[in-house]
Amino acid sequence: MELTLTEEQEMLKKTARDFLTDKCPKSFVKQMEESKTGFSRELWEQMAQLGWMGVAFPGKYSGGDMNFLDLAVLLEEMGRACLPGPFFSTVVLGGLSILDFGREEQKQEYLPKIILGEKILTLAFTEPGYYNYDDRSVTVEAARSDGSYIISGTKLFVPDAHIADNLLCVAKTKPENGITIFLVDAKDPKIEYTVLETIAGDKLCEVVFDQMPVSEASILGRLNQGWSTVQKTIERAAVGKCCETVGNIQRVLEMTVDYAKERKQFDRPIGSFQAIQHYCADMATDVDGARFSTYRAAWMLSEGVPCTKEIAIAKAWTGKASQRVFALAHQIHGAIGATIEHDLHYYTRRAKAAELAFGDADFYREIVAREMGL
Amino acid sequence: MDFSFTEEQNKFRLEVRNFLEEEIGKGYWKPTCDAWIQGFDPEFTKRVAHKGWIGLTWPKEYGGHERSHIDRLILTEEMLRYGAPAACHWFGDRQVGGTILSFGSEDLKKEFLPRIVEGEAYFGLGMSEPGAGSDLASLQTRALEDGDYYVINGQKTWASCASFAQYFDVYVRTDSEAPKHRGISEFIVDAQSPGLSRIPMTDITGTEAWNDVFFDNVRVHKRYLVGEKNRGFYQVLNQLDYERSGMERLMGNYPLFDSIIQFAKDNKLSQQPVIRNKLAQLQIEFEVGRLLIYRVAFLMEEGRAPNWESAMSKAYSTEFEKHLAGVAMEVLGPYGQLTSSSKLVPLQGMALHSYLGSKGYSLQAGTTEILKNILAVRGLGLPSS
């Protein structure tokens, strides 16, 4: 048992924190929220130069030969900085899925470009309706037609699809009714995008496929057997979101404690009042619980050991814990924290989006129940 | 980071489990909630000592085994999982031995540590008083020097299961002029000393849980002073950090957790979404608590004394224990109200016992409020109130 970061990870963390403090101030976050694309090509290229996209990929694809735990450290720092842009979509949803499930020629074709910052990817999975993250929710069809497939239907809440070069599209293959993942060209004229306006100011899209033909060669993984691949991708994404949230709420705890030390009422810092102290103590406990459950899941993913239950515990805990943290952070900050001038709202809005993404606490409690044999 | 246990640690866990299952198989005892603090079984303690499992982390020269804090956590985790009657040695092993080791003289170490390790010296605590609970530094029990002796007068209370204690680790005022934190000293007092008397108290479960302990001119030789005179308050802070650090704060009523899950399965209650949700939430809370406690052991293994981290894990974990008892009562519905001797009682009345007993979990060894103060001030650097 070893609960601290390695020297290498500490260095990665420090580099990331310094870089993002410099390049990603809240004025930049605001600008990206208001922009159409939601990301800066210049910053994207700088991140690629730092090797960030490649951290968890093997050297033979130009990756950094590190692992998911190292990526977790990076994601935590990105959450701390509220970094906008398609890093998560490209690396966690796109690149790692190709690494795990793609054919060698697909890896050769896509991974080096992803790692060098030349390609943006995302996952088109969820659809209109209220039963997501369940195989019944997939209704977009890929119908077989003369050795190729025709994709039709609507995907929803697809992050960064409007700027993506490629999409991993999860479709129901007809006539067999299996689930298959297609790695498709996102710029195909048969796809239409509408960027939705969201709480976090990130760019979630409606993606409409209008009879788009795709080749058999674009299948990622196995025909009709794609559901287990999707599940693994969702699980990994859930842990990734937890990492971002840990960075987010750690920062919010620090901001809140600092504020409680500075803000005076009744001639004393409000942090000297026990009511405020106990709120802060509760926040710290929630943050540490989120940190350890998240890093345990990330470590297990990294080691390749089965961890469906541990992932479910991390996501269920972290989602709910973040909501408790924000209730108290806002209460302690008082009215200033409810204004647009204060930075707190950047964190509040992102934590809510992360709680909803890739399964909420109810969803994962049911998984825990199954894992308990209930 | 690495959340795994080594092969040796896994083997050790298995060895402890096998031992405990064999004990249960032979009918020596039954898994019981709160057995770590209320299960007095001198024979069991002797058998545990024989395995070499008391004083696990202590130096060999005092009979210890110089094993890791993670090993000790594994051992106690399994004792709690099986609800084993470990109360005779728990206090000596967990904290009094440690305080003697940290602060005591060479003579004290030689006199007590080997006997604790052999399962032959049982300790009770003399901290709280009728007027000194959370504000422990205001304690009034006094010791006056008289030649080579100190003479103690006063009253201690809430001494857990002190009927069985052979010795008390007692904090008393030795300087009434000094500021209250700087006039307290720690002594080991023989429970058979003339002038020492005990009156048991019954808790709301109907169990004898505590004693009032009275000191009427109790004479204690100076060699039983632990550490420096008038430094006792600083020693007790350290000792309390250890007292709060362990798995017993999360797993005091663990046998109920296993039982209520099995009960829900057996009675098909676990198919109901509401009950699935509640039990899964308990599992999530349990796992998070376990990680918070392993973090404390990890710090100890790194050579640091536990500090605000054990305040955090204890405050968190006792809420879990209370939540568990509450959910168990809800799952049982009206049957939950039946006492252990009643017709139709499910789970031998474990849920009811735990529901009532768990009210004390967040009071002993530092109330949740005091623990949150510690976490806020020592951990987060907020100004003292």
Nearest-5° angle of CA A77, CA A78, CA A82?
120
Same domain, A204 and A182: yes
Do the Cβ atoms of B385 and A278 come within 8 Å?
no
Is residue A353 in some structural domain? yes
pTM of the entire predicted model = 0.97
Select the residue from B288, B307, B324, B378 to test the A interface by mutation, using most A Cβ atoms within 10 A: B288
Residues A31-72 have pLDDT tens digits of 999 999 999 999 999 999 999 999 999 999 999 999 999 999
Same domain, A197 and A160: yes
Same domain, A346 and A271: yes
Q: Which of B180, B162, B128, B153 is nearest to B370 (CA)?
A: B128
Is residue A12 in some structural domain? yes
Residues A191-247 have pLDDT tens digits of 999 999 999 999 999 999 999 999 999 999 999 999 999 999 999 999 999 999 999
Is residue A94 in some structural domain? yes
Find the CB nearest B312 among A272, A285, A299.
A285
Same domain, A185 and A78: no
End residue of a domain, out of A220, A254, A272:
A220
Query: CB of A84 within 8 Å of any CB in chain B?
Result: no
The dihedral of CA A155, A159, A162, A163: what is its sign?
negative
Which value does ipTM take for this structure?
0.96
Shortest distance, CA B31 to any CA of chain A (angstroms): 21
Same domain, A149 and A260: no
Same domain, A129 and A81: no
Number of domains present in the structure of chain A:
3
CA-to-CA distance for B35 and A72, rounded, in angstroms?
41
Which CATH fold topology does B7-121 show? Butyryl-Coa Dehydrogenase, subunit A; domain 1 (1.10.540)
Ordered alpha helix ranges (H), chain A: 7-23, 26-34, 41-49, 68-81, 87, 96-101, 104-115, 227-262, 274-303, 308-333, 344-356, 361-371
| Structure tokens, A243 | 């990492």
Do residues A298 and A246 make contact, with C-beta atoms less than 8 angstroms apart? Answer: no
Shortest distance, CA A255 to any CA of chain B (angstroms): 11
Q: Which domain holds residue A236?
A: 227-371
Which CATH fold topology does B124-230 show? Butyryl-CoA Dehydrogenase, subunit A; domain 2 (2.40.110)
Select the residue from A242, A272, A273, A285 to test the B interface by mutation, using most B Cβ atoms within 10 A: A285
| Chain B residues with a Cβ under 8 Å from any Cβ in chain A | 1-5, 70, 261, 264-265, 270, 276-277, 279-281, 283-284, 287-288, 291-292, 294-295, 298, 301, 312, 315-316, 369, 371-373, 375-377, 379-385
Is residue A359 in some structural domain? yes
Do the Cβ atoms of A374 and B265 come within 8 Å?
yes
Is residue A206 in some structural domain? yes
Tens digits of pLDDT across chain B (385 residues)? 999 999 999 999 999 999 999 999 999 999 999 999 999 999 999 999 999 999 999 999 999 999 999 999 999 999 999 999 999 999 999 999 999 999 999 999 999 999 999 999 999 999 999 999 999 999 999 999 999 999 999 999 999 979 999 999 999 999 999 999 999 999 999 999 999 999 999 999 999 999 999 999 999 999 999 999 999 999 999 999 999 999 999 999 999 999 999 999 999 999 999 999 999 999 999 999 999 999 999 999 999 989 999 999 999 999 999 999 999 999 999 999 999 999 999 999 999 999 999 999 999 999 999 999 999 999 999 999 8
Query: CB of A281 within 8 Å of any CB in chain B?
Result: yes
Shortest distance, CA B371 to any CA of chain A (angstroms): 9
Find the CB nearest A1 among B4, B283, B385.
B4
Which CATH fold topology does B244-379 show? Butyryl-CoA Dehydrogenase, subunit A; domain 3 (1.20.140)
Do the Cβ atoms of A295 and B1 come within 8 Å?
yes
Break chain B into its structural domains and give their ranges: 7-121, 124-230, 244-379
Residue A353: CATH number of its domain: 1.20.140.10
Shortest distance, CA B119 to any CA of chain A (angstroms): 30
Shortest distance, CA A42 to any CA of chain B (angstroms): 33
Reported as type and span, the H/E element at residue B173 is strand B167-173
End residue of a domain, out of A55, A84, A119:
A119
Q: Which of B280, B287, B206, B298 is nearest to B250 (CA)?
A: B287
Same domain, A241 and A278: yes
Do residues B184 and B234 make contact, with C-beta atoms less than 8 angstroms apart? Answer: no
* 3-class secondary-structure state, position B17: helix
The answer to whether domain B7-121 and domain B124-230 are alike in fold is: no
